[in-house]
Amino acid sequence: MKKRQVVMVRRDASASDNNNNNNNNNVVKYGECLKNHAANSGGYAVDGCREFMASAAEGTTGALTCAACGCHRNFHRRKELAAPSRQNIWET
């Protein structure tokens, strides 16, 4: 019996992505970049990137890097869109 060690450098947002992918059809989109590029100087300035675009295919490290601004996906606003589904678990 072999034990397989899976090393994942992920933050909570990504982990819950996985659950969503497995358990339901929620679509997760990443909106504007919120990274503060002026943090060093005590100011606040974002790069103006409006939407996360993966710089490489899903499953590679580049998939977590924005092709437009180069920031990690976690800097982008996370938008969870409930996909239309037959079981409406969100509303009564």
Binding interface with Zn ion (CB under 5 A): 33, 35, 47, 49, 69, 71
CB 80 within 8 Å of CB 28? yes
CB 54 within 8 Å of CB 67? yes
Taking the complex as a whole, the smallest distance from the CB of residue 27 to Zn ion amounts, in Å, to 21
- For Zn ion, give the closer residue by CB, 61 or 92: 61
Taking the complex as a whole, the smallest distance from the CB of residue 32 to Zn ion amounts, in Å, to 9
Number of alpha helices (DSSP H) and beta strands (DSSP E) in the chain: 1, 2
CA–CA distance, 49 with 4 (Å, rounded to integer): 38
- For Zn ion, give the closer residue by CB, 33 or 64: 33
- For Zn ion, give the closer residue by CB, 18 or 36: 36
| β-strand partners of 29 | 79
Taking the complex as a whole, the smallest distance from the CB of residue 76 to Zn ion amounts, in Å, to 7
